[in-house]
Every structure is written in structure tokens, then in C-alpha cells.
Amino acid sequence: MKAQLKDIISKSILTSGVGQLDDFSHSLNPYAGCTFACSYCYVRQLPISLYREEEWGTWVDIKSNAAELLRRDLLKARNKGPVTIFMASSTDPYQPLEHETKLTRSLLEVMLEVPPDFLHVQTRSPLVKRDIDLLKKFGDKVRVSMTIETDKEDIRKAFAPTAPPIPARLNALKEIREAGITTQASISPLLPCSREFPQKLRPIADRITIDDFWMGDGSGGKRTERLGIYEIYKETGMEKWYNPTAYKVVLNMMKKQIGNEVEVMLSKDGFTPVDPDRKPAIGENLTFF
Ligand code: SF4
């Protein structure tokens, strides 16, 4: 299906960090809407999607004045205190139309002129590789976090058939890390995965964070339940994975296999700006490992 694309003029572009993102001063979304259309996307249950006639995944509003607004908003925000940005919280900044619009790239250019104190880039798209030249210039003030919710392609196809293939995401993160940029693999939301998953992430991620529907959808799993995701678990014979304790098995596996080399975090702790004084990750001392 062809997506409905619309250029819009926004009034502001930086939004105060709230809820799961309250460790960031701001979130930044170059687009509204997302054509990756993941079945489990919690944004489907937010007003931005519920109050639209078109189905989530079939439309994108392009904030065409985003770069101009960002320059203005950044200058203002920097006068008020440290600026730490999460890009993006309710859309993928590197979804397919970014190939043509280069809107996210233009925002990186602005942020190099008026730098925030920290930028977290969250995507599941290998297109982020295109901007390695710019991302490198942020030095240790940037983290590229690739969503890799499973290492199994059949599972990815069942839950997010129009999102990029897992091997392409793994390769992109590898390339980004080889360019000297700090990387994170976000297993978020955790989907059924294999025992080889830790070894696939070990060489490509400085940090791994695990999140699931119950910890991360902002409603204790209720939004996800309303989306009927359990049906996909049943269809794939993976019912036992639809469980608020399943993350413990994967956390255990990650820590046991690669915990000495890669930092493994959990839920909100894995989505914070760099903080040298941070507390240990939740579960670091769990005894069932
Ligand atoms: S990529 Fe992110 S914002 Fe886009 S549909 Fe998937 S979960 Fe939602």
C-alpha cells in the first residue's frame, strides 16, 4: 500500500522529555507517523494514531520546517540548562522516505552547529549508516541505538513484516561501531530469540538494553494487550514468550555469555543519556543467572 505523505509546518520541534524519557531534557521527532508499521508499536494506542482515520503505518506527516525550528529551539533550550535529546520517540527517523527527504540528516547538521550535550539516535533502519560522516563529528556526545528485538528473521517477519531485515540491522550497527561511534543494541520490545543472540551482538554493541511490553509500553502491558499481539505469539507457537518474566531468561543469557565484555541494561536504565555516576542496571545482582 502506498503511504500518504504530507508536508506540514510545525510550531515547535523539541518536546520536553516525559515518562520513560524523563532522563532526557527533550525528544525530537522529524516525522509524525511511521511506515515500518510494526504490529506491536505502542504509538498505535496514542492519540496521534487513535484520532486519525488512516491506519497506523499508512501515513506520514513530514515536519518540513524542522531544521529551522530546531536551530531556534536549541538556542533557547541551551540557555535553560543541559540539553539531552532522544531522537526519535514516536517515529523512526530513518524510515524509508528519509532516503529522499534527508530531513533527519538536516537535523544532524543543525545539531553540529548548535550542539546538544548528548544525542541518542533510536532507529531500526540501516539507512542510519548514510549519516556516519556526521555522527562521527559528535564524538562521545552521541549514541546510535539500533532496535534489534530478535535475531530470528521468521519472528521479525511475523511481528514487523515491513521493518528492515535483522541481518541488515546487525551489519549497520557493526559498520557504525567500526567508524568509532558508540553503539547500543536495543532488544526492545523483546521478541522470541535464539541462544546465539548474545554472540551476534557481542562484536557490534558497546551496550545492550532489554525492554519488554510490560516494562516499556508505558501502561504495564495494557496497550500491547489491546493491540492483540498475543495472537501472533500463538500463530508462531511462541506463547510462552508472552510473559512478563521472559526477559529474565534473556537477561541471564546475555550476562552469562557476554556480560564481561558488554554492558547489559534493562528498560529505562538503558535509555538514559550517558551518566558516569549512574546506578547499576536493574537486575545486575539477580541470583538466577
Ligand atoms: S519503527 Fe518504531 S515508531 Fe515505527 S512502527 Fe515500528 S515501533 Fe512504531
Pocket test for ligand 1, best of 20, 21, 34 (most atoms within 8 A of CB): 34
Pocket test for ligand 1, best of 40, 55, 124, 188 (most atoms within 8 A of CB): 124
User: In a 10 Å sphere around its CB, with 0-12 CB exposed, 13-18 middle and 19+ buried, how is residue 183 labelled?
Assistant: buried
Nearest to 126 by CA among 160, 82, 163: 163
Q: What is the pLDDT of residue 275?
A: 54
**Ligand 1 residue neighbourhood (C-beta within 6 Å):** 34, 36-38, 41, 43, 91-92, 124
The residue-averaged pLDDT of 260-269 equals: 94
3-state secondary structure (DSSP) of residue 127: helix
Rounded to the nearest angstrom, the distance between the alpha carbon of 255 and the centre of ligand 1 is 27
Q: At what angle do helices 66-80 and 103-113 cross, to 10 degrees?
A: 30
Average pLDDT, the chain: 93
Q: Taking the alpha carbons of 123, 127, 129, 134 in that order, is the dihedral positive or negative?
A: negative
Nearest to 56 by CA among 65, 47, 64: 47
pLDDT in tens, 220-255: 999 899 999 999 999 999 999 999 999 999 999 999
Q: Whose CA is nearest to atom 6 of ligand 1?
A: 38
Q: Can you tell me which atom of ligand 1 is nearest the CA of 90? A: 3
